Structure 1
Amino acid sequence: MSIAHLLDDFGSQPAQSAPSQAMAEEEVETLRLQSYEEGYKAGWEDAIKSQRDQSAHISDEFARNLQDLSFTYHEAHSQVMQAMTPLIQDIIDVVVPETVKETIGLRVVEQLSEMARRNGAHRVEIIVAPEDADKIRVLLDQDFGFPIEAMSDETLAEGQVFLRMAQEERQIDMEAVMSGIRQAVAGILQETERKMMHG
């Protein structure tokens, strides 16, 4: 006797009606589209997040490189200035004073020309320190168009000159010029040293 009637038959599928099968296909398609859209949206969000993270990383790296570069520049500038300070000091102490001394005659000519334009051709007195007398006498060989008398005064320091024409008197003080140059350079060197110490 057969016992087939007692056991369930898994081999055959139950027949479905056409409308429920069509409905199932629509639901499957809808689920497929929803899954596709969710996956697309998730992928898009991941790409945007990844790009944001990469941009932030690049910005941070760029800022760090700029900071390193700035530090390197200031460090190099400080070291160059530190190395050059003795040379600059020698130039200020040796070369510039000689140059200033040599240009005293040009400064006198410049002042004489300006005074002559303002006052006309009047007699001029040039009073100089004994050390500068020869430099000024060389200038007197040229014709200025008005009489010039040069005299030395031992109370004047080297580099000091007085010019008198009509009612006008002017003083040239090359030591004051030198002092201004020294102060300007000292200020630059002090500022550089301050930046080296405090950043």
Structure 2
Amino acid sequence: MSASPLILEDFGQYTGLVPLAVIDGERLEAEKLATFDKGYTAGWDDATDAYKAEADGAERALAARMEELGFTFHEARAHVMSALRPLLSGIVETIVPRVLQETLGHRLEQAMHQLADGQPDPEVLINVCPDDAEQMANCLSAHARFPTRIEADDSLGPGLIHIRLGQSAREIDLSIVEATLNDALAALDTLNEETLSHG
């Protein structure tokens, strides 16, 4: 049996050794520190960017939710006010005129006192529309402390009262209060309709 010859590597082709670079400890430490700082800064920047993105997303979600809630609130308010419109109309059309009539005597008494101040033997002339003359007589029978005379005046509208004492005069217009309430109710109704139609 023949053995195969052992072939060894020839190191003769290498002519010289390459010198190893010597790294001093300070330079190595500085490079480690610079690498650490670079990694730390990159990590901090990533965390800051992630936090900003999360905060921006949460802020946008909150703004969208608040906008939804705002529309929901305004729509709910408009629906409630629309549902209350018949009640408010009933109050303006029924209760307000009655309250105005019930408090008319007190208002007339105040107006007559202001006019009669300093007048000797005052007689008060009250002009009203013909439809209000009977109601005025009933009202004055309970409140008048002066001699009064009621005259129907076709030129006056319902709720308009002229009070005269000598050269002094006052006017009470009950329809202004009712008209103001009706205008306010109409404006509220218009606002509610716009809110419902536009959201």
Aligned ranges 1:176-195 → 2 under 5 Å: 176-195=176-195
Counterpart of 1:135, as a letter, is C
Counterpart of 2:141, as a letter, is R
Q: When the two structures are superposed, what TM-score results if normalisation uses the length of structure 2? A: 0.77
Residue 69 of structure 1 aligns with which residue? 69
**C-alpha distance in structure 2 between counterparts of 1:152 and 1:95, whole Å:** 27
8 Å CA contact 1:162, 1:169 repeated in 2: yes
Counterpart of 1:198, as a letter, is H
Taking structure 1 as reference, are residues 31 and 4 closer, same or farther at Cα in structure 2, changes over 3 Å only? farther
**C-alpha distance in structure 2 between counterparts of 1:25 and 1:171, whole Å:** 106
8 Å CA contact 2:115, 2:169 repeated in 1: no
Residue 119 of structure 2 aligns with which residue? 121
How big is the shift at 1:78? 0.8
8 Å CA contact 2:126, 2:161 repeated in 1: yes
The partner residue of 2:9 within 6, 21, 33 is 6
Counterpart of 1:163, as a letter, is I
Residue 47 of structure 2 aligns with which residue? 47
Residue 136 of structure 1 aligns with which residue? 140
Residue 90 of structure 2 aligns with which residue? 90
Q: Which has the higher contact order (CA 8 A, sep 6+)?
A: 2
Q: Give the stretch that moved more between structures: 40-49 or 182-191.
A: 182-191
Taking structure 1 as reference, are residues 171 and 193 closer, same or farther at Cα in structure 2, changes over 3 Å only? same
How big is the shift at 1:26? 4.7
8 Å CA contact 1:130, 1:158 repeated in 2: no
8 Å CA contact 1:137, 1:150 repeated in 2: no
Unaligned runs of 5+ residues in structure 1 are 9-13
**C-alpha distance in structure 2 between counterparts of 1:197 and 1:115, whole Å:** 52
Taking structure 1 as reference, are residues 88 and 51 closer, same or farther at Cα in structure 2, changes over 3 Å only? same
CA RMSD of aligned residues (A): 2.8
Residue 171 of structure 1 aligns with which residue? 171
Q: Alignment identity in percent?
A: 27
Residue 32 of structure 2 aligns with which residue? 32
Report the number of matched residues.
183
Residue 14 of structure 2 aligns with which residue? none
Residue 11 of structure 1 aligns with which residue? none
State the SS of the aligned residue for 1:121: coil
Unaligned runs of 5+ residues in structure 2 are 12-16
Deviations 1:25-52 (A, max 9, x none): 5554343222211111111111110121
**C-alpha distance in structure 2 between counterparts of 1:6 and 1:149, whole Å:** 145
